[in-house]
A = this chain, B = another copy of it.
């Protein structure tokens, strides 16, 4: 429970985010502001430094200036030594139980992002990993419908989004997805790659193929967001997928747009149950990720280029050639037919059959990329988008590392205390745990996605070649055995 006490003491609960509004006021107390805007004092030792990323005020200005933020917006994650209290969530929300029917409990106090408070990182086999919810969330984006407003003056496409949690569809236009993207980018972008939405497009927006393609990409984007344990449990994301009426949606939007727990603030929510990392280790990790994401970006772009070239060939010259082969065989057949020589009907029929078979193969070849290469390219495209987010994320980390390195000099020059420097180290450690968890999330998804898409691709390729072999086998059987 975080409630304002009469004696200017602010009740806080484990995992709660608070903003440090003033330096230590003495006597072991520190002034903080909670997410409801209430200000009050909390015992300084409530803020467990060892394993929690805390924005202690002495180094606060340094951290925030690094991020180009006003110090007052910087939040802290609180992790009292006392365990338990997670069941209190229900009480915390009791004022807002008019929304209890849905899984979304968006409210003005909703700074405690689901799953992002408390210990949200643990050390798994592969290193720091996010705590994943027990049941995976997914959304189905389907059923695009052309809607209009202003008495038909304005037309738009509305997609149905149905989350697996409520199984209740909500309607969204592309611009709503775009709004969500902007919110997620602003809120999580410093820590988590938030891939771009499918491109905006002005012309051809109502063409069936465009709508189908956009929907498919919105689906992929939503599924990726759903898979992220921090993003998917955020209020704004939950609002998007579970709002129940226009009023709730609009209220939620306004609230989300005012959310101040955004950008690098998000690291304050990170709570790894692991020892601090040395800046050197952090730097090494950073460099390793930078190398990897750069290399993968190159590899993905390479595959993308090859794929696009192959696509063009498979839909352009190759089927044209099969068609020409088909026509040439049919032409030969019809010339043979004109010979007036008796008894060659079997040959001419077989030649015609073979010719038509090659025309069918032309069709199969031309349509194949949509069945396999498409998904490989789409997955690559998604990863190209994700990988494009890493340089910025890594830059934030590198800047923080530089800042910590500078810390030594600042201590020597008496600009900051040794404690402040240590706090900076702790924060960078938190950031690094966050990045590592994010990277491991990325790796595990990457393995899943590429395994899945390669299987799909190869299976479709097998079917493709088998189908052609069968067709040709049929054509072969039309000829007389000699």
Binding-face segment, A7-15, A109-117, A389-397, A474-482: A474-482
Write out the residue numbers on chain B whose beta carbons fall within 8 Å of the beta carbon of A339. 292, 443
| CB atoms of B482 and A458 under 8 A apart | no
- Which of B298, B354, B452 is close to A458, meaning CB atoms less than 8 Å apart? B354
Q: How many A residues face the partner with a CB closer than 8 A?
A: 66
| CB atoms of A443 and B317 under 8 A apart | no
What's the minimum C-beta distance from A321 to chain B, rounded to whole angstroms? 5
Which one of A298, A461, A466 has the highest number of Cβ atoms from chain B below 10 Å of its Cβ?
A461
| CB atoms of B479 and A292 under 8 A apart | no
A166 within 8 A of B: no
Binding-face segment, A21-29, A33-41, A301-309: A301-309
Write out the residue numbers on chain B whose beta carbons fall within 8 Å of the beta carbon of A344. 443, 447
Given the known A-B contacts A126-B343, A469-B466, A475-B458, are A328 and B354 also in contact in the complex, defined by CB atoms under 8 Å? no
A296–B408 Cα distance when bound, in Å, is 90
A300 within 8 A of B: yes
A324–B342 Cα distance when bound, in Å, is 51
What's the minimum C-beta distance from A324 to chain B, rounded to whole angstroms? 5
| CB atoms of A451 and B480 under 8 A apart | yes
| CB atoms of A465 and B472 under 8 A apart | yes
A335 within 8 A of B: yes
What's the minimum C-beta distance from A436 to chain B, rounded to whole angstroms? 11
Given the known A-B contacts A318-B313, A473-B462, A479-B454, are A328 and B302 also in contact in the complex, defined by CB atoms under 8 Å? yes
Closest chain B residue, CB of each to CB of A475: B458
Given the known A-B contacts A295-B335, A451-B480, A454-B479, are A342 and B125 also in contact in the complex, defined by CB atoms under 8 Å? yes
Taking A462-B476, A469-B469 as known contacts, 11 extra A-B pairs with beta carbons closer than 8 A to each other, sorted by chain A number, are A292-B339, A292-B340, A302-B328, A303-B328, A303-B331, A336-B446, A339-B443, A451-B482, A459-B476, A465-B466, A466-B469
